[in-house]
Amino acid sequence: MNTMYFTEEHELFRKSLQDFLKKEVVPHIEKWEKTGVIERFIWKKFGEMGYFGIAYPEAYGGMDLDLFYTIIFLEELQKINSGGFAAAIWAHVYLAMTHVNKEGDDRIKEKYLRTSISGEKIGCLCITEPFGGSDVAGMRTTAVKSGDSYIINGSKTFITNGVYSDYLIIAAKTRPDLGNKGISIFVIDRGASGVSATKLDKLGWRASDTGEIAFDNVSIPLENLMGEENQGFGYIMQHFALERLIMGVNAHARSEFALDYVVNYMKQREAFGKTIDKFQALRHTIADIASEVEMCKEFNYSVAKRLNDGQYVVKEATMSKLLSTKIADEAIYKCLQLLGGYGYMEEYPLARLFRDSRLGPIGGGTSEILREIIAKMVIDKKEYKTKT
């Protein structure tokens, strides 16, 4: 136990979560990976256990616990070897619900946050567009006032939970002439007329539903605006530190899973009269992987501590995602190699892990975009300060 960051209570939570995942989730993973549909009952079970409310106010059914409970939650989700299942869960809890909690008024929180914590409703966050990618300011989706409604037109893509969720948190331009200063955030019910979704076929994350969503003259009440009009870009930016750190933590956790698996494999696999964990070249490969993963983990924990303390960590969280996802891809590639031909077989876990991990340097801001953000902060001394 790392006593600098985790208490005995944290570790008891980790153990109970591990037991829950082993009993309630793992037996269904293969089915969900094949069908691409995560059955609704498991969302209710997560809700009943309080897992969706870890970071949220007690007033809406949450537990309002420190960030290291979230770190544990993320790490253990990675270690059941379904990046798609993990993504569906954390996209609901830390993307959609974060906006509901931070920008939603009491009515919206009562309707969407409380039911999200209980597992009755599933949310998704809709920012990325077919022509926009990481360029949030370049979005084309619009929300035009018409009487007591907003009329929304446009499309979003690569949206996790984009097909089977119950509500959508969507960014749209209320003042297109203002560029990124004209973006607003809304909540839309899945059943709203004019909302349609197409499921995308992905390389990895097979258990999760990733959708392209179209909005065709979707009418929503004015009260579905979240926060202030035209302040959406700031809201999106202020949550990026958490999102990037989440993806960094996910990366170090899946690297650890791969490392633990391959070390155990090497202790059993024999070649030339001895187990392959005795060959120096392979031992040194493991030493390199373990060193890099440990560096990522310790850095990520330190960033989490600072974020939990309310510090400005956009640069560090961006570095976390950039390096942790890169190192995870390299670590899992090397671990798969150490399994030889078995690493290429679907019945062995590293084949899926290899595919799932590849999303890390792409989703939530590509590594190329993150490098430019870091360069601006390091070289140009830019600060991405936002509304509080």
Say how far apart CA 16 and CA 6 lie, in whole Å: 15
Q: Which residues of 217-227 are buried (b: 16+ CB within 10 A; e: fewer)?
A: ebebeeebbbb
Q: Which of 33, 75, 76, 243 is an active site residue?
A: 243
pLDDT at 388 over 70: no
* Chain mean pLDDT for the chain: 95
Q: What is the CA radius of gyration of the chain?
A: 21
Say how far apart CA 87 and CA 95 lie, in whole Å: 10
Q: What are the tens digits of pLDDT across the range 58-68?
A: 999 999 999 99
Q: What are the tens digits of pLDDT across the range 234-280?
A: 999 889 899 999 999 999 999 999 999 999 999 999 999 999 999 99
pLDDT class of 328 with cuts at 50, 70, 90: very high
Burial of 317 (0-12, 13-18, 19+ CB in 10 A): buried
Give me the half-sphere count of Cα atoms (radius 13 Å) on the Cβ side of residue 359.
Answer: 23
**243 is annotated as an active-site residue:** yes
State mean pLDDT over 192-215. Answer: 97
128, 87 Cβ separation under 8 angstroms: no
Say how far apart CA 242 and CA 337 lie, in whole Å: 33
Q: Which residue has the tokens 């995308």?
A: 200
DSSP codes, 247-284:
HHHHHHHHHHHHHHHHHHHHHH-EETTEEGGG-HHHHH
Residue 367 sits at φ, ψ, to 5 deg, of -60, -35
Q: What are the tens digits of pLDDT across the range 174-190?
A: 999 998 899 999 999 99
Beta bridge partners of 183: 173
Give Cβ neighbours of residue 372 (< 8 Å, ≥ 6 apart). none
